Amino acid sequence: MNAGKVATVAVISMPSGKTHLTIEAMILFLWAGLSILVVSKHSVASSQATLFLGSYVFSMFLMSPDLDLSKSDSFQRWGPLRWIWFPYAWLCRHRQTSHHLLLGPLSRVAYLVLLVLAGAFVYLVVSRNPAPRLAFSLKVLLPAGLGLYLPNLEHILIDRMSTAWRRKRRKHRL
């Protein structure tokens, strides 16, 4: 290397929360367009499309794989309830379970469901009211599940592509 030249190294970090949110929002527009199309063709009920899109938005803002990071945007969006994610962050180290394609989203949804059930149990014990009977069908679970899963899948894939690109660039510099 010439003594007068200085090597510059581009530092490429993981996409920020805002970058993830922007990409997920752009993809949301594609999902919304597809939802309008399948509803207009009477392939899917409008209530199912609405449930899918609502679940997608909820997941996009509040169920990110980065919930295990206390400084992440998704963690901060929980406001005064963000403390409920401390045990999850302790159990699921960042970029391990939280960023697994299947276990990550399932772990967050299962964790939230357990918290809701625990809260409902405490309410039932304190109030002594009978528990309401809830029945869920595939017409509800499938669109809600897809809406919760897809933003997580997109987030994880974006992180993986970023990591692969960074490794490839590092390898070519050597």
Taking 50 as the pLDDT cut, the residues of the chain under it are 1-12
Residue 3 lies in a domain: no
Residue 173 lies in a domain: no
- Contacting residues for 157 by C-beta, under 8 A, at least 6 apart: none
Determine the structural domain holding residue 61 and report its residue range. 17-167
Sign of the dihedral through C-alpha 163, 165, 169, 172: positive
Residue 5 DSSP label: -
Number of domains in the chain: 1
Q: What confidence tens digit (pLDDT) does each residue in 60-104 have?
A: 999 998 888 888 899 999 999 999 999 998 888 777 788 888 988
Residue 174 lies in a domain: no
Give the pLDDT confidence score for residue 174 in this predicted structure: 62
Residue 39 lies in a domain: yes
